[in-house]
Amino acid sequence: MKQSPVLTEKQVKQLLSSTKMTRHSTRNRLIVILSYYVGLRACEICSLTVGDVLDGEGNIKDTVILKSHQTKGNKSNSVYLSDTVKDEIRKYFSEYSYLVTLKQSSLLQSQKGGGFSSMTIQHLFKKLYKSIGLDDCSSHSGRRTMITQLAEKGVSVRVIQELARHSDLSTTQRYIDVSVDKLKNAVSLVSF
């Protein structure tokens, strides 16, 4: 089974920049952020509600609880939002302020005012990738890139497994990309 490619830092920046050229740039940027910075799957991104990310006082939560119907494995899970992600959500709500009071509404609104489907999110990613010449990427590239980047920065595979919400450690290990450059860099670390 062919895995989605892992993007370089430069390619992720190009992808984020490409959202500026879209009609709903703030919304589309948030969709990319949720994939690359949180590791959400397309089905999880489209299932988020306003109430999932905002508490009762209208503050952005540090932890989002995905209910069983929102996840791939039908098990509720926690996802953690960094300050960077929370800033992006704030920017989104500053543009789409009417959503703040609609707790049950889809967080990410389509042009027609409803939520997205998983397929629509996947198509949006394909369109964004194509705009920067990355035709072989998919909506899962963000998830793989996040997991690989955490591994490269020395985060424990067990911690990554929890963040990725994988029940089996071997699944997490399959997500981590290994390239010739990474192998060469690893060997160069050995010294006596």
Could you list the active site residues?
41, 72, 140, 143, 166, 175
- Which of helix, strand or coil describes residue 5? coil
pTM to 2 decimal places: 0.90
Domain 9-142 has CATH 3.40.50.720: no
- For 106, residues 6+ apart whose C-beta sits below 8 A from its C-beta are 46, 48, 49, 50, 114, 115, 116
Q: Where are the domains of the chain?
A: 9-142
Q: What is the DSSP string of 91-116?
A: HHHHHSGGGGG-TTSBSSB-TTSSBP
> What are the distances in angstroms from CA 53 to CA 7, 34, 56, 103, 147?
27, 12, 10, 9, 22
Q: How far apart are CA 184 and CA 27, in angstroms?
A: 39
Q: What is the pLDDT along the chain (192 residues), one digit of tens a residue?
A: 578 899 999 999 999 999 999 999 999 999 999 999 999 999 999 999 999 999 999 999 999 999 888 888 778 899 999 999 999 999 999 999 999 888 999 999 988 878 899 999 999 999 999 999 999 999 999 999 999 999 988 899 999 999 988 888 888 888 888 767 777 777 888 878
Q: Do residues 45 and 107 touch, judged by C-beta distance below 8 A?
A: no
